Chain A
Amino acid sequence: MEGGYALYTMTKKKEETDLFVPRLVTTEENFAPGHRACIGCGEALAVRHVCKALGRNVIIVNATGCIEVFSSVLPQTSWRVPWIHTIFENVGAVVSGIESAYKARVRKGKIPDKNVKFVGFAGDGGTSDIGLQALSGAMERGHNFLYCCFDNEAYMNCLPSSSLIMTEEGLKRIIELKKGEKVYAFDQKNHELVVKRCEGVFDNGTREIYELRTLHHQIEATPNHPFLVLKRSGRGRENELMWKILSDIRPGDMVVVLKDLGEGEPYKFDPIRKTVVGDYKVTHVNEIELPAGTSPDLMKYLGIYVGDGWTRVKKGEIGFALPEGTEERNALIQLHSDIFGNSIGREDEMYVYINSVNLAKFIDHLGFGSGAKDKTIPGWVFTLPKDEKESFVAGLLLSDGYKTGNSSRYVSASKELLKRLRLLLQTMEYRVGKIHLQRKERGTVCVDRTLLKDAEWGAIAFSKRNAWNTEKYLSQYKYQNFLIESEHFEMEEVKEVRAAGKEPTFDLHVEDAHNFIADGVVVHNTGIQRSSSTPYGAWTTTAPVGKKSIGQATWKKNMPEIAVAHKIPYVATACPSYPFDLMDKVKRGLEIEGPAYVHILSPCPTGWRSPPELTIEIGRLAVETGVFPLYEVINGEYRLSFDFTDLKPVREYMKPQRRFRHLTEDVIEKIQARVEEEYAKLREKAGVK
C-alpha cells in the first residue's frame, strides 16, 4: 500500500475509533499497561480485552505461563483485580476452591453476596495437556466459573535452525534432519565415535540464544542446553566428563569437540536425467561423459568450481572466472579433459566456458550453489575419503586461497561456505581459526584481483595439526587433554560464552547416546515439551521437520469440543482480532450459571516467528481460512459467529509465519483438506446449509 494512503486511513480510523469505541467499550484497564509481554503479543491483547469484559467484580486464577510471567514480576503487578497464581496445571481446581469458599461464606453470613465472578486463565498446555484433568473435574462438578484458554502454541527449545549436524550421510542443517536418520554421537563410555538413530526433530520456536566459542569452534544454543565438559578430579586421579548447561559454562571449561571423522568412502551420485536430442526444442547436445562417483580429480575440479565457477542450467553453460595464463586455469583445463574426456569450449582473457547442458545439470545437482554469496559445501562431502577431501581443499586453495608458511587462508563471500569449510577441515585433523569478516570497497585488490563492486568477505586460516608428542609428555597432555587417546574427539578450552539474541530453535532426540555433534561440538539432546495445540494439527511442533514428513503429525486436540462433551452450558471460541465478538462471548460466559469455556486463539509473534505488526492480521486469517473458526455452543446448540462460504486457502494464514516454512505443498494440501473437512462438519452442527 502506498504510504500516503495508509497514513490517511490510519488517521481517519483513529479519529473514528476515538469517537465510537469509548461508547462501546469501557476505557477502564483492569489489566494495567506496562507489563512485559513481547511486542505484538496477541495473548496480552486478548487478556486486555477479556479484562475489559470482566469488569472489577471478579477473582482471576492464572496458570503458570507467559501471562503470569509478563504480568506479575515481583514486586510489581499488572492486576487491578484480585489475582492468584499457584502452579501450571491446576487452574480448574483452584477456581473451584475459590468459588466454593465464596458460596460457603455467603451462606454462613460471613460476607455479603456481591455476585462476584470467578475466572480461570491458562495457556494451551495448562488447559489441554497437563491441566486437562483439573479442568475436566471442575466442569464436571458444575462450579460457577468462566475458563479462558489463551492458545498461543508455545514450546521449548534448543539449537538454532542454522546448526549443522554430523550425520552418516554427511553434514546437514538441523532442520533438514528426519526421524530415523543416523547421526554421529559420542560414546561416553569408550570415548568413541558411534552412529545413532535420530528419533525425532522438534521445532521449538524462537528462543534466546547463547554463543559458545572455543579457539576453533563456535556454536549457538539455548542457555539450558547441556554440553559435555571436563571435570578435573585433581592430580593423580582420573578426570571425568559431565554434562553442564550452557549458562553454567565459564571460560576455561573444556568441552568435547570432534577432531576427525575417520576414513570415508567415495560418494555415488544419484543419476540425473540427461537431456537428449529429441527433447522439447533440443536439436543438438554436446556429448559428455559424466562420472558415477567421486574421485580426487573431480573433487579438485569442484574445489575450483566453488571458488570461481558458475552454472547456467537453462543456457547449458558452465563458466569459470580464471584469468588467462594462471596456474589455476591450466590446472582446470587439464582436470576437465581428464575427467570428462573433452575439451573446454571457449576461453577469453578472463573466463573459461564449457557449453554442455548435461554438465551444467550435473554440477547444479551436486548442491554447491551457484552465486558467489550462496556457494556452499553439500553434506555428502563430509563422507568422502580423506584424499578426496584433501583434493577438494586443494582445489579451493587454487581458486580463492593462498598459503603462507604452514598455514593456508581461504576467502569467500559466502558465510555458509566458510562455516561448513571450517567444520569440514575439522574432520580432517586441521586446526581452523575463527571466521574473520571484512568489508572491501570497490577497486581494492583481493587475492590478485580488483573488486568490481563493494563486497563483504570472510576468511579463515587453517593448518595441519602437529601430532602430540605423547612419548615425551604423555601424563602432562593427559592432564591437559583428557581425550588424548581418542582418535575422533578432543577437548577444547572455552574462550567465551555470550548472549547472541533470539533465533528459531530446534532439537533432536537421539537414541541411547542422547547426544549428537552440532557445529563440531558434542551436545546433549534435551527433553522436549510438545504442545498438543495448534489449529488442526500439531504438525508444526512435533512433526519431524523433513522434506516429505507429516509422519508424526497429530491433529490438534480439539479443546472446545472436549468442553462441549462435558455438557456445560457455554463454550465459545474467540480471537483478539475480533475484539467485540470476544468481549461479548466473555460477558455471556460470565453471566451464564455454571461452567463456561472460552478458547481464545492468541497469535504469538515470538513463537510463531511472524512479524509483530501482523498479529491482528494473522488472527483474522486464521478465522477466514477456517483454521480457527469462531463459534458458540450454548446448551449444546452450535452457532457460527462468522460464516464463510468461500474459505481463504490456509496457505495465506501460514505464509507470514516462519514456523510453517518447512511445510511442503503436499503437506499444506493435506492440512487444507483437513481444515475444510472440519469446517464442513462444524457448519453441519450449526445447521448451516
Chain B
Amino acid sequence: MKKEKVVGLEGSFAVSEAVRMANADVIAAYPITPQTHIVERLSEMVAEGELDAEFICVESEHSAMSACVGASAGGARVFTCTAGQGLELMHEVLYIPSSMRLPVVAVVANRALSAPLSVWCDHSDMMAVRDIGWIQMLAENNQQAFDLTLCAFRIAEDNEVLFPTMVHIDGFHLSHVIEDMRLPDAEEVAGFIPDYKHPFALDPDKPVSMGCYGPPFIYPETKRAQEVAFEKVMPKILETWKVFGDRFGRYYAPVEKYRMGDAKIALLTMGSYSETAMLAIDELRAKGEDVGLIRLRLWRPFPFKEFREAVKGVEVLVVLDRCVSFGMGGPVCSEVKSALYDQQKKPHVVGFIGGLGGRDIPIEGFEYMIQSALEKVKAIERGEEVETEMIGIRE
C-alpha cells in the first residue's frame, strides 16, 4: 500500500518538497521573480532544520551556478533554481557542468527576457540554453513539477549519465498557482533516489585535475567524448521514468499523447498550456473533428524516435512556440520540421507563436490555430509561402 498524502501546494513549494525529500546537500541560488518562492521555501526549510543542507546565499546567478559547479565537483548533491534574466546571467557557467560531467539539478521558472521588462512566462529563457549539453524537461502542472524534479536527481546522478538536468516549470502558471497533488512518503522517495557518489569527486586522498586546458589537438576529442556520453542519456531517462511509474503510479514519456487515436490533425505544445490545449481538443472532438494533442515532455535530448512515432498518420501538425527566434520563426517548430525532414511520409507543419511575456491563450485561441492551420495548408498546397503567425496580437 502506497503511503501518500493529497495536499494543496503551490508549484514552488512542490519543487521545494522534492528537493527536501531528495535530501540535497548544497543549494546555491539567487532570488528572482517568479522563482523567489522556491528560494524562500528552501532557505526556510534549511533554517528550520527540515533539510540538512548548506544554503549558499550567493550574490548573483553567475555565482550560484559557479558554486553549484564547485559543490558538485566536491561530491555533493546540488540544487539551484532561477528564471529568465537569471538563467541568462548563468549562461557562461552552464557549459561547465555539462562539459565536466557534474550532475547539477536546476529548476527554471520560465520567464520572458527583457526588453521590455517582463516577469511573466514564456519560453525565451529555456530556448537560449538548449544547445549546451543539459538535459531539459518540462512540467505542465504542480504534480509533474514535483515528480520531474525528483526524477531529475536520479537521472543526472546516474554514473552512466552525469549530466546536469533542468526542469522547466512555467513561471506564475505553475510557480504561483496552488493545485492539489499527491505527496509521496519521504521514505518511499529515499528508496527511489540512491545515495550519490561522484566517481571522481575532488578529494585530497585521490587527487584529480578538472577543467584542464584543451588546445586544438585535443579539444575536438573532448567534445566528441561528451557527445558520445550524451547519447547514452535517453535510455536512462526512460528507465528512471519507468521505475518512478512502477513505484508511484505516474508514468512519464518524452512525448505524451492526448486523444491522438486516429487524429489527422495534431497540436503540439510544451509546458503549462498543454492543459488548456487539452480542453480545446475535447471541445473539437465533441464537434466530431479528428484532432489530438502531442506534448513534448523532454526537450533535450530531443526525442526523435518517440516524436516521429507520435506523428505517424498525422496530416497536419500545428506547433505552438512561446519564443521567437528572430528571422527564423519559432524554435520548436523549426526543430520539429528538421526532425521530420528525412521521413518518407510526413505531415504539413504549421507554426504559430503565442503566449509571449505572459499573454494568455484562451481555449478559442487553440481552436483558432487549428482552423487557421487548415487554411494555411491549403495555401501551402497551392504552392504559396506561409509565414509563422503570431497569434493574439492587437494590430
Known: A74-B213, A87-B93. A101 touches B66 (CB 8 A): no
- Which of A81, A104, A110, A141 contacts B53, CB < 8 Å? A104
A90 near B66: Cβ-Cβ < 8 Å: yes
State in angstroms the CA–CA spacing of A141 and B30 once bound together. 14
Q: Which of B67-75, B175-183, B362-370 is found at the contact surface with chain A?
A: B67-75
Q: Contact residue range for chain B? A: 35 or more
What is the total of A-B residue contacts with beta carbons within 8 Å? 170
A105 interface contact, C-beta 8 A: yes
Known: A74-B222, A84-B202, A93-B63. A105 touches B213 (CB 8 A): no
Binary contact track A90-129/B, C-beta < 8 Å → 1, others 0:
1011111111111111011011001010000000000000
Q: How far is the CB of B235 from chain A (nearest CB, A)?
A: 29
Chain A 52-69 interface residues, beta-carbon cutoff 8 Å to B: 56-59, 61, 68-69
A98 near B71: Cβ-Cβ < 8 Å: yes
A85 interface contact, C-beta 8 A: yes
State in angstroms the CA–CA spacing of A110 and B28 once bound together. 20
Known: A72-B213, A84-B73, A100-B76. A133 touches B207 (CB 8 A): no
State in angstroms the CA–CA spacing of A81 and B209 once bound together. 8
State in angstroms the CA–CA spacing of A105 and B26 once bound together. 9
B300 interface contact, C-beta 8 A: no
B60 near A137: Cβ-Cβ < 8 Å: yes
Known: A75-B218, A90-B63. A97 touches B212 (CB 8 A): no
- Which of A90, A94, A96, A105 contacts B25, CB < 8 Å? A105
B199 interface contact, C-beta 8 A: no
A73 interface contact, C-beta 8 A: yes
State in angstroms the CA–CA spacing of A61 and B70 once bound together. 9
Known: A97-B66, A137-B63. A84 touches B25 (CB 8 A): no
- Which of B59, B78, B92 contacts A133, CB < 8 Å? B59
The interface residues of chain A lying within 8 Å CB-to-CB of B76 are 100-101, 104-105
- Which of A74, A95, A103, A107 contacts B70, CB < 8 Å? A95
Question: In this complex, what residue of A is CB-closest to B212?
Answer: A72
- Which of A81, A99, A101, A136 contacts B59, CB < 8 Å? A136
B210 interface contact, C-beta 8 A: yes
B212 near A134: Cβ-Cβ < 8 Å: no
B59 near A140: Cβ-Cβ < 8 Å: yes
A86 interface contact, C-beta 8 A: yes
- Which of A82, A89, A137 contacts B204, CB < 8 Å? A82
State in angstroms the CA–CA spacing of A558 and B233 once bound together. 48
State in angstroms the CA–CA spacing of A517 and B68 once bound together. 49
B62 near A134: Cβ-Cβ < 8 Å: yes
B218 near A74: Cβ-Cβ < 8 Å: yes
State in angstroms the CA–CA spacing of A97 and B100 once bound together. 15
Binary contact track B41-60/A, C-beta < 8 Å → 1, others 0:
00000000000111011111
Residue pairs across A and B with Cβ atoms less than 8 A apart, 23 shown, are: A59-B204, A68-B212, A80-B207, A81-B204, A82-B203, A82-B204, A82-B207, A87-B96, A89-B62, A92-B63, A93-B67, A95-B70, A96-B70, A101-B26, A101-B73, A104-B26, A104-B52, A116-B204, A134-B59, A134-B66, A137-B58, A141-B56, A141-B58
Residues of A within 8 A of B (CB): 56-59, 61, 68-69, 72-75, 77, 79-87, 89-90, 92-105, 107-108, 110-111, 114, 116, 133-134, 136-137, 140-141
Residues of B within 8 A of A (CB): 25-26, 28, 52-54, 56-60, 62-64, 66-76, 78, 92-93, 96, 100, 195, 202-215, 218, 222
**9 more CB-based (< 8 A) A-B contacts, given A93-B28, A96-B67:** A59-B202, A93-B62, A96-B58, A97-B69, A97-B70, A97-B72, A100-B71, A101-B25, A140-B59
